[in-house]
């Protein structure tokens, strides 16, 4: 009740159109749909009186106005993302509950400046946007945990689908790793980031990643790699096929055995095409040679077709034929750390993050898959030598915090 009251009051207070406009700017900025926005980017005024209230909760109206603002200002990707977000009523509802909760606990009201307030709201939205388009890493760096140990190997970080090394989540995360591991650390970009992760075939993303690693003299004696989401497949490609020694791999929400449903693309003008062709024909030549995610599509109902048509994952997993180099390289890892999120809605099945997958219609754990039983990647040795680590984090895709990382994962990077 209090939440609704404060919320309505706030919107009333914003009776000046420009105040209201600033609130909407703040939301776009805080959710990273637009990088720093100033009124100069967009002179159109959105008035809160422009459209009648159609929603049961005022915040639904505010978010819809934010989307109108991005549309009228030509921020098309932001517009499409917000529209898409609103089309997932359950996720949208969860966001509103979280927002009510923050308002209830007065965590949001230190400022009279409405743009700052909007930024707080946008930051609360960020992890929820990540559910419908897995672009956003919900990670905040504080200086709380400074480790005394330091690592031995330089670190490369590869981000996930639709993400970029320049988004603040990745900047903070990279900074956290640099400080806590204490060695050379870089978020390594493939192509232009977000666009490339969708629009380049996965095989060519992996080849580029290998080239980027070889260009860095800091990595020439070997490195450890952290891969977020699909970045974890890149990490494995580098270990198996790039010819650079890799010591530790940490994968965070990575579909090692593939995905049974295509990730849904929301952010960008090209998404219509992507969603259309991948839903109809993920193994088709067009999809496999023009779009990233089909490279790790693994149709649980048609293994033969996967073997024949997968342009990336079936090779990486040694499922077409055995490349013994891949096995040797995997077995030479000091640690392979696999993080799974209990409520991951970006990866289906979730178990893929731990090398589990569909087998005869059911999802089975890693040690009951064909690949493991045939030992196509040498995981049996890693397992028996205690080098294969299964870590579970509660919550959604890539939704982890500093404490969890420090406690559960950092020790492997320091070893
Ligand atoms: C992504 O592609 C679109 C269309 O070509 C372009 O407008 C946009 O600037 C690109 N984004 C980046 C980060 O290059
Ligand atoms: C196995 O993989 C390595 C590394 O990519 C490659 O150089 C080699 O040619 C492959 N071997 C076979 C038999 O394909
Ligand atoms: C995939 O492989 C199957 C054989 O298993 C083949 O018949 C089919 O034409 C290929 N292409 C697609 C798009 O499935
Ligand atoms: C599979 O791995 C789990 C977890 O390590 C273990 O408890 C179980 O006994 C293993 N099952 C088989 C068949 O090896």
pLDDT in tens, 283-301: 988 888 888 899 999 999 8
Helices 231-241 and 202-215, axial angle in degrees (round to 10): 60
Token readout for 258 is 């593939």
Q: Which residues line ligand 2 (CB under 6 A)?
A: 241, 323, 325
pLDDT of residue 192: 79
Substitution candidate for ligand 2 out of 317, 323, 327, 378 with most atoms within 8 A of CB: 323
* From 49-63, 211-225, 338-352, 369-383, the region with the lowest mean pLDDT: 49-63
* pLDDT (mean) for 140-156: 74
Measured CA angle at 128 (ends 126, 130), to 5 deg: 75
End-to-end CA distance of the chain: 51
pTM value is 0.77
Q: What is the CA radius of gyration of the chain?
A: 22
Maximum average pLDDT range among 4-8, 143-147, 226-230: 226-230
Percent of the chain whose predicted confidence (pLDDT) is above 90: 44
pLDDT of residue 269: 64
Question: Which tops the pLDDT comparison, 238 or 79?
Answer: 238
Residue with CA nearest ligand 2 atom 10 = 323
Q: Is it the case that residue 147 has pLDDT exceeding 80?
A: no
Residue 231 CA to residue 82 CA, distance in Å, equals 25
Question: Half-sphere exposure (CA, 13 Å, Cβ side) for 149?
Answer: 10
Confidence bin at 262 (pLDDT 50/70/90): confident
Q: Is it the case that residue 212 has pLDDT exceeding 50?
A: yes
What ligand 3 atom has the least distance to the C-alpha of 285? 13
Q: Is it the case that residue 399 has pLDDT exceeding 70?
A: yes
Q: Which residues line ligand 4 (CB under 6 A)?
A: 365, 367
The alpha carbon of 337 and the centre of ligand 4 are apart by a number of angstroms equal to 17
Substitution candidate for ligand 2 out of 209, 241, 330 with most atoms within 8 A of CB: 241
What ligand 4 atom has the least distance to the C-alpha of 383? 5
Residue 310 CA to residue 172 CA, distance in Å, equals 35
> What ligand has the least distance to the C-alpha of 321?
2
* pLDDT (mean) for 321-336: 97
What Cα–Cα distance (Å) separates residue 295 from each residue in 50, 171, 330, 366, 408? Answer: 45, 27, 21, 21, 30
Question: Half-sphere exposure (CA, 13 Å, Cβ side) for 398?
Answer: 33
What Cα–Cα distance (Å) separates residue 206 from each residue in 177, 308, 385? Answer: 23, 20, 28
* pLDDT (mean) for 95-120: 78
Substitution candidate for ligand 4 out of 336, 338, 355, 365 with most atoms within 8 A of CB: 365
The alpha carbon of 27 and the centre of ligand 1 are apart by a number of angstroms equal to 22
> What ligand has the least distance to the C-alpha of 365?
4
Strand partners, 341: 393
Substitution candidate for ligand 1 out of 32, 195, 273, 292 with most atoms within 8 A of CB: 195
How does pLDDT run across 28-64, given as a tens digit for each residue?
Answer: 888 877 765 555 567 777 766 555 555 577 888 889 8
Residue with CA nearest ligand 2 atom 3 = 241
For each of the domains in the chain, give its residue range(s) and CATH number, in order of start: 2-130 (no CATH), 155-414 (3.40.50.1820)
Strand partners, 249: 225, 336
Contacts of 360 (CB under 8 A, 6+ apart): none
Residue with CA nearest ligand 2 atom 4 = 241
* pLDDT (mean) for 220-236: 96
* pLDDT (mean) for 114-124: 86
Confidence bin at 135 (pLDDT 50/70/90): very low
């Amino acid at each position: 009740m209090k939440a609704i009251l404060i919320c309505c009051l706030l919107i009333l207070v914003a009776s000046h159109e420009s105040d209201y406009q600033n609130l909407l700017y703040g939301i776009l900025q805080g959710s990273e749909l637009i990088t720093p926005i100033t009124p100069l980017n967009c002179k159109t005024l959105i008035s809160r009186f422009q459209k009648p209230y159609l929603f049961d909760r005022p915040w639904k109206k505010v978010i819809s106005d934010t989307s109108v603002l991005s549309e009228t200002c030509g921020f098309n990707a932001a517009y499409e993302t917000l529209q898409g977000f609103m089309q997932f009523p359950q996720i949208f509802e969860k966001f509103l509950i979280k927002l009510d909760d923050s308002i209830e606990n007065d965590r949001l009201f230190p400022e009279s400046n409405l743009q700052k307030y909007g930024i707080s709201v946008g930051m609360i939205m960020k992890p929820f946007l990540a559910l419908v388009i897995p672009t956003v890493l919900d990670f905040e760096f504080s200086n709380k945990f400074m480790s005394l140990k330091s690592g031995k190997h330089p670190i490369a970080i590869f981000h996930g689908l639709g993400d970029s090394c320049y988004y603040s989540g990745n900047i903070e995360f990279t900074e956290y790793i640099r400080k806590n591991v204490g060695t050379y650390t870089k978020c390594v970009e493939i192509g232009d980031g977000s666009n490339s992760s969708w629009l380049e075939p996965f095989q060519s993303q992996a080849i580029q990643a290998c080239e980027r690693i070889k260009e860095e003299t800091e990595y020439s004696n070997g490195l450890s790699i952290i891969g977020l989401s699909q970045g974890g497949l890149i990490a494995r490609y580098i270990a198996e096929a790039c010819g650079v020694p890799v010591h530790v791999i940490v994968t965070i929400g990575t579909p090692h055995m593939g995905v049974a449903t295509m990730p849904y693309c929301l952010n960008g003008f090209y998404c219509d095409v992507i969603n259309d062709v991948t839903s109809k024909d993920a193994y088709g030549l067009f999809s496999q040679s023009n779009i990233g995610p089909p490279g790790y599509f693994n149709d649980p109902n048609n293994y033969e077709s996967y073997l024949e048509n997968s342009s990336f994952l079936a090779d990486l997993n040694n499922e077409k034929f055995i490349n013994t180099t891949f096995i040797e390289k995997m077995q030479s890892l000091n640690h392979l750390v696999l993080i799974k999120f209990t409520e991951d809605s970006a990866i289906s099945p979730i178990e893929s993050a731990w090398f589990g997958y569909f087998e005869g219609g059911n999802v089975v754990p890693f040690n009951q898959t064909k690949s493991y039983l045939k030992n196509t990647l040498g995981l049996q040795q890693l397992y028996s030598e205690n080098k294969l680590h299964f870590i579970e984090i509660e919550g959604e895709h890539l939704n982890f915090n500093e404490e969890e990382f420090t406690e559960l994962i950092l020790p492997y990077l320091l070893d």
